[in-house]
Amino acid sequence: MKLKGHQIIIFGLPRFDSPIESTNYTTAKLLARENQVYYIENPFTLRDFFRLRKTPEYQLRKEHFSLTGHSLIETDIPNLKVIIPPILLSVNFLPENGLFRAALKFNEFLIRRKLKSILKAYKIRDYIFINSFNFHYPTLTDGLTPRLKVYHCLDPMVLPFNRRHGVVSEDILVKQSDVVICSSKQLYEEKKKQNPYSYFVANAADLGHSSKALNPDLPVYPAIAALKKPVIGYLGAIERRMDYDLLQKVILANPDKSFVFVGPVSREFVPDWFFTAENVHFPGSIDYDNMPAVIKGFDVALIPFKKDEVSSSIFPLKLFEYMGAGKPVVAIDFNPDLKEFTKGAVTFCDNAEGFSNAINTALQTDNADQRKTRVTIAAENTWENRVDAIADIIHYHLVQVIQP
């Protein structure tokens, strides 16, 4: 990593103690190998306060919400501290107009005031500011003086909550940033029209974690071990991106197999049929620590995202998590970029018949050499390598662009 000895502030969307591993916090942890990093997590709003005030999540933070205080939450990484923003107004329900933008600027003022207090208390100067996909606060750095402003764009704008104001906000953020780093080629092609200093750095996987599935002594997660073999599995959020029409055809064509979907379920997107099918199982969410034990129980791993304009810019983390565990992967051909990174080791399909055939072929032909190949490819796509690439881009702009 060329970027060393810097002070970096990362404003992320996920909270630091989220049970699901995130690109945002993983980036913070890895940049902290060589730099002092301060991670600002997504703020609580008044709505969050009333909903979560009795939870451990709130209790952990209650002493750190002060508007002018400068207490930090320590982590198990010496160079990584967490900043808890003050509680903000709930404003997303407002329509996109001047009133909303004024309320948003007030919220940004509150975060900025807290941040200025911390900058002064810890003598943080000449720092790099990275907005890690928290496009909800596009002008937070107004009135601050970071040495470099970076926007890390990780996904297309899909959810109605995000699209309500996010399209306008992200447009502002992209144009005002010194550097934009995108997780897919399609996002890169979009953003470089707004900011010429845009780059593509793909998502990756925590190979050190997912490869625990290769340990012969690791027991399979109980809910998976109880299923009839073979087990065809998916790990992740079960929501709008899934191609349920294709999956239904595949499941009906393979009544001898157990299909398991592990993760939080957005029932409004899942057809009722899936909840009554005898060979379909929904064990629910799991802790990140259990991910290797879950994947170990899969005979074939799936990425069944529908092929549409939104999914074409998704670079799923689970792709290399599956491969890092040595598992055969069958996916819908939703993002053409993925073929370049998987080097023929993943089967991509465009219809239900091909998807079903690929599952059966994987079950019949999987062997030790193929598993070794998958692990080797996954090792080329680790978070360490990706974050090093991001750090090199930032270093270049600090040295070559700002100081020619």
For residue range 192-237, list pLDDT tens digits in order. Answer: 999 999 999 988 877 888 899 999 999 999 999 999 999 999 999 9
66: its two tokens:
């002060």
Place of tokens 């926007």: 151
Least confident of 76-80, 109-113, 183-187, 203-207: 203-207
**Residue among 156, 149, 148 at smallest CA distance from 185:** 156
Q: Is residue 303 classed as helix, strand or coil in its secondary structure?
A: strand
Burial of 1 (0-12, 13-18, 19+ CB in 10 A): middle
CATH of region 7-204+383-401, choose from 3.40.50.720, 3.30.2350.10, 3.40.50.2000, 3.40.30.10: 3.40.50.2000
Cβ atoms within 10 A of the Cβ of 194, count? Answer: 15
Q: Is residue 128 classed as helix, strand or coil in its secondary structure?
A: strand
Say what the pLDDT of residue 403 is. 53
Average confidence score pLDDT of the chain = 93
pLDDT digits (tens, 9 = 90+) for 290-338: 999 999 999 999 999 999 877 777 888 889 999 999 999 999 999 888 8
400: its two tokens:
């070559």
Q: Do strands 231-235 and 258-262 pair parallel, antiparallel, or not at all (unpaired)?
A: parallel
Is the distance from CB of 334 to CB of 309 less than 8 angstroms? no
Rounded average pLDDT over 245-272: 96
Say what the pLDDT of residue 402 is. 56
Q: For residue 230, is the peptide bond before it cis, meaning its omega torsion is within 30 degrees of 0?
A: yes
Is the distance from CB of 300 to CB of 316 less than 8 angstroms? no
Adjacent-strand bridge partners of 301: 233, 329
**Is 401 a residue whose pLDDT tops 70?**
no
Whether the pTM exceeds 0.85: the reply is no
Say what the pLDDT of residue 51 is. 93
Place of tokens 């500011």: 129
Question: Which part of the chain is CATH 3.40.50.2000?
Answer: 7-204+383-401, 207-380
**Is 19 a residue whose pLDDT tops 90?**
no
Q: How confident is the model at residue 404 (pLDDT cuts 50, 70, 90)?
A: very low
Highest CATH level, class, for 207-380: alpha beta
Q: How far apart are CA 262 and CA 297, in angstroms?
A: 12
**Is 354 a residue whose pLDDT tops 80?**
yes
Q: Which residues contact 4 (CB under 8 A, 6 or more apart)?
A: 34, 35
